[in-house]
Amino acid sequence: MTKSRSEHLDVLIVGAGLSGIGAAVHLKKESPNQKLAIIEGRDNLGGTWDLFRYPGIRSDSDMYTLGYGFKPWTKERAIANGESILDYLWETVSENELKQHIRFGHHVRRAEWSSEAQVWTVTVVHLGETFDITCKFLFMCSGYYNYRRGFTPEFPGRERFTGTVVHPQFWPEDLEYAGKKIIVIGSGATAITLIPNLATKAEKVTMVQRSPSYLAIDQAIDQRALRIRRLFGDRIGYALIRFRNTKRQQRTYEFAQSRPDQFKETLFKDIRELVGQDYLDKHFTPTYQPWDQRVCLIPDGDFFQAIKFGRADVETGKIRTFTESGIELESGERIDADIIVTATGLELVSLGEVDFVVDGELIDFSKRWTYKGLAFSGIPNLAFTFGYVNTSWTVRAELVAKFVSRLLNHMDKAGASSVTPTLRPGDSFMPRESFVEGFTSGYFQRANGVLPRQGNRAPWINPQNHAATKKLLTARIDDGVLKFAHC
């Protein structure tokens, strides 16, 4: 039975990951009058960086951009492991006195907006008890994937395999893999991270991929960044490096889009040097264009070093079936294993799998237009954070948080009780583009039914270009599309 705890908040943030913690810091500083709380379903903060515990878990982009603009990353490694990212987040919480605002182990199930009362009623489950909290504004920082299960395709004969099958999202703490033969199925960032780490103890690790991904070798420790920090100190140095790296990520993306062949060659050159042309042609030459899917980072070439020294190998081809002792490919090739790791990806969900109801109507987000990639047409007092796919997530997450702060301040000043992005005449005839245009990664393809659409004109767009996003999110609040109610 749902109980009502008579608690009312101005802003309820859902999720205490990188986005939720960052959002709370911005709101506290920039909108200090708002009474806020962070509701977090898990018993720790960090989201992604707490959930994933597989060997070698690390960032896939540099911490100078994955870190917050307001808190310098002061560790030596630019590519950081999960534990040091969690430490950084805990430091952020403590420096900004956020702990008292976080409700751990509280899971949001349903959110119901009443236009009459101008309020969200949010149903929360904590230790088996279900209760409601009301709030004026809901800020969803709930990430983008399912925390309860990863994506695993149906593999024929899976039940025949007598060894252990593991999904990296749920890595067993006590999994003994020293001296074992391991197959890692997948070609994305997780597989690429896992393989060199497993290979340090395993007898042999074989990567089985259906098709290759683009892989970019870079340094785990950015020596130039360290020099800049020594020269300018942590705070100014960090700001300079963050600016440089954001620009560099964007330039690299644009270069890859405009001159794909030249871009490919810059990646292939490094790989060729380490494993040779034959291996490159056979296993690391994708059929799609660079950045149609995320390019995976290889810090210090560790993945290729494992191949070079014979501790890891790659097979490219379709799996016909699992066998008692491993996997058989359609080519007839058989690979033996004691452990099979299904690094086959994430399952995208929309807004923390919360049921949203507006004045009695259950909302299907895939039928809505996105407002600036942070809100939805026709849904009042709701924002969400979704980072860039081609630049570090946090760079966009902070722009969203600052926008929400300005919006709340504007509402307070205007005495508005609600704000609703509302289509102008003609807007509903816009062509419906996918939420992230031109990105063909499997998990985005599978998520068509849960993500909103973007149109072809501002503000109904979600650009993956930082300059365009910055312009969009720093524009004046009162844009004629946001409709304010005063009740």
Ligand X SMILES: Cc1cc2nc3c(=O)[nH]c(=O)nc-3n(C[C@H](O)[C@H](O)[C@H](O)COP(=O)(O)OP(=O)(O)OC[C@H]3O[C@@H](n4cnc5c(N)ncnc54)[C@H](O)[C@@H]3O)c2cc1C
| Cα separation, 383 vs 12, whole angstroms | 11
Q: Which of residues 340-399 bind ligand X (CB under 6 A)?
A: 352-354, 385, 387, 392-393
Residue closer to ligand X (CB basis): 17 or 452: 17
Cα four-point dihedral sign 184, 187, 189, 192: positive
Residue closer to ligand X (CB basis): 107 or 181: 107
For residues 285, 288, 294, 299, the Cα torsion angle rounded to the nearest 10 degrees is 10
Q: Which of residues 13-32 bind ligand X (CB under 6 A)?
A: 14-20
**Shortest Å distance, C-beta 465 to ligand X:** 16
User: Should residue 59 be labelled a site residue for ligand X when binding is judged by CB under 6 A?
Assistant: yes
Residue closer to ligand X (CB basis): 383 or 411: 383
**Secondary-structure breakdown of the chain: helix, strand, coil percentages, each rounded to the nearest 5:** 35, 25, 40
Instruction: Spell out a b/e string for 4-15, using b for 16 or more CB atoms within 10 Å of the CB, else e.
Output: eeeeebbbbbbb
Q: Which of residues 269-298 bind ligand X (CB under 6 A)?
A: none
Residue closer to ligand X (CB basis): 61 or 209: 61
Q: Which of residues 82-111 bind ligand X (CB under 6 A)?
A: 107-108
Name which of 387, 327, 378 is nearest 356 in CA terms.
378
Distance linking the first and last C-alpha atoms of the chain: 31
Contact call for residues 134 and 381 (beta carbons, < 8 A): no
**Shortest Å distance, C-beta 233 to ligand X:** 25
User: Should residue 39 be labelled a site residue for ligand X when binding is judged by CB under 6 A?
Assistant: yes
Number of residues that bind ligand X (CB under 6 A): 32
Residue closer to ligand X (CB basis): 262 or 440: 440
User: Should residue 444 be labelled a site residue for ligand X when binding is judged by CB under 6 A?
Assistant: no
User: Should residue 42 be labelled a site residue for ligand X when binding is judged by CB under 6 A?
Assistant: yes
| Cα separation, 403 vs 397, whole angstroms | 10
Among 27, 36, 47, 220, binds ligand X (CB under 6 A): 47
Backbone angles phi, psi at 339, to 5 degrees: -130, 135
**Full DSSP string of 150-198:** ------TTGGG--SEEE-GGG--TT---TT-EEEEE--SHHHHHHHHHH
Among 7, 28, 30, 52, binds ligand X (CB under 6 A): 52
DSSP symbol at 369: B
Residue window 138-167: x/- pattern of binding to ligand X, with contact defined by CB under 6 A: ---xxx---x--------------------
Chain contacts with ligand X (rule: CB under 6 A): 14-20, 39-42, 47-48, 52, 59-61, 66, 107-108, 141-143, 147, 190, 352-354, 385, 387, 392-393
